Structure 1
Amino acid sequence: MAARRTSRTTSAPRWEQLVLPDLEEADGAVLTPGASLEGLRVTSADISGRDLHDLVLSECELVDVLAHETDLRSARLSETRVRCLGAPVLRAGRTTLRDVELSASRLGAVELFDAELDTVLISGCKVDWLNLRGARLTDVTLRECTLTELDLGEATCERVALEDCRVQTLTMNAARCQDVDLRGLEVDSIVGLDGLRGAVIDGVQATAWAPSFADHLGIRLE
């Protein structure tokens, strides 16, 4: 008797709409290294070149903020919304993002290596290089984003989805994936095909990526 095959449904990222309380308007000057801030809205601020390492934001909103070469390393953002962020270079390695929305932003090189992203929605953004190498992603959605390069090398990804996204180069070296849904991804090239183990693609993608899979496995297509 043939073995019975079992099917498994991919678990989508868990997400609830972020609802913020009434926020107090504040100037960008309140953002300082190691500060712990709650319930603030910062609008039309230029924090470029500022050292804001270890900054803690809870239930805050940042709107139309310029953050070129801003140092946000080891910062912690929770229940926070960021809209229209402009940052040709953003240094945010080892940050913690929990219940965070980032939308309608234009970003260049974004350093999020060794970061922790838990329940994060990134939507409508254009990014040159999103460096998530070594990061831990849980319940993360990228929606309607365009990226030149997305680096997930050595990252741990659980319940991650790319919806209607365009990526030129996807790097997956030594990534660990569980319930990673790539069916909404259009990609030009993939580096580190072994890192796709545990991801989900559709039939059209499987056909389009067949030459890359064959080359990786040493199979000749004639």
Structure 2
Amino acid sequence: MQRAWRTSKRPAHVSRRSSNHCICRVNLWTLTMAAIRDTQPPRLPKFPMGGEGLIESRLSLLTAEDDQDSRRFFDQQASTIDMTAAALLNCEFRNLAIDTIIAERTHVNHVLVDSCRTALLGIRSIGMENSIAVHCSFGAVQANTAKIIGMEIRGCRIDYLNCRDAICRDIMFRDCEIGELDGNDAKFSRIAFAGTRIDVLSLQHAICADVDLRGARLREIRNVDSLHGTTMSLEQIADLSEVFARSIGIRTQ
């Protein structure tokens, strides 16, 4: 007697369940990969170095609550410059040595600062856009509660950079040396560091998005649990493994 063989069929509900499960897994994978996107670079200002048609001016012209447009300040020295609540548009500052600069609540747009040095730069609550600083030396930069959008900082030395409670977006630090960057409670987005040394970095309670630290040489990070929204390389994380371990109570021997 020949035995009859029948091919069993999977119930329809089982097939649909398996299909739905696969679709869910595909959707989850798609959402995960969408969330893991490339770090967005800063959108930097573009204007020529060395604007034409600027008026050669003296530093004594810079006073509080005054507006300056299309001026060049070149090769001068001063003890204190107070530009509180002033406005600077399309200006250049070159080869200046100023002990103290106060520019709180000042509006700055399209400004070039080249080869300048100051011990104290007080720019609390400044509004700065589309500007460039190159080959400058700053002692303490007090930029707390500032709003800085679209800036390139190249070849500069900053001993202490206070950006507490500031809003900073589209900023590039290139070939700089920063003693301490205090970004506690700040809002940082699209900020990158290329060839830049940072001795101490603090981002406690900061809100970061697209903050690219891969080009930074970091020596110390405070509050490493506040690094959400930053991008680092595996080599950096390995170099700072002891710092990370210490922050969560792990003793290394």
Question: After TM superposition, is the score higher than 0.5?
Answer: yes
Identity, in percent, stands at 26
User: How many residue pairs end up in the alignment?
Assistant: 222
| Alignment correspondent of 1:130 | 161
Query: 2:234 & 2:110 partners in 1: Cα distance?
Result: 37
**2:175 counterpart (121, 131, 144):** 144
Is 1:25 the equivalent of 2:61? Answer: no
The answer (yes or no) to whether the contact 1:21–1:39 under 8 Å persists in 2 is no
| Alignment correspondent of 1:216 | 247
The TM-score normalised by the length of structure 2 is 0.83
| Alignment correspondent of 1:99 | 130
Unmatched 5+ stretches in structure 2:
1-21
AA in 2 matched with 1:65: L
**1:66 counterpart (93, 97, 109):** 97
Question: What secondary structure does 2:116 align onto?
Answer: strand
Is 1:117 the equivalent of 2:148? Answer: yes
Segments ≥4 residues shifted beyond 4 Å: none
Query: 2:90 & 2:78 partners in 1: Cα distance?
Result: 19
Is 1:191 the equivalent of 2:191? Answer: no
Whichever of the two has the greater Rg, that structure is: 2
Unmatched 5+ stretches in structure 1:
none
Query: 1:160 & 1:50 partners in 2: Cα distance?
Result: 29
**2:186 counterpart (155, 173, 184):** 155
| Alignment correspondent of 2:81 | 50
AA in 2 matched with 1:73: E
The answer (yes or no) to whether the contact 2:62–2:82 under 8 Å persists in 1 is no
Question: What secondary structure does 1:133 align onto?
Answer: coil
The answer (yes or no) to whether the contact 2:223–2:247 under 8 Å persists in 1 is no
Specify whether residues 60 and 175 from structure 1 end up closer, same or farther in structure 2 by C-alpha distance, changes over 3 A only.
same
| Alignment correspondent of 2:116 | 85
The two structures, once aligned, show a CA RMSD in angstroms of 1.6
Query: 2:141 & 2:151 partners in 1: Cα distance?
Result: 16
The answer (yes or no) to whether the contact 2:176–2:196 under 8 Å persists in 1 is yes
The more displaced of 11-20 and 116-125 is 11-20
The answer (yes or no) to whether the contact 1:67–1:90 under 8 Å persists in 2 is no
| Alignment correspondent of 1:9 | 38
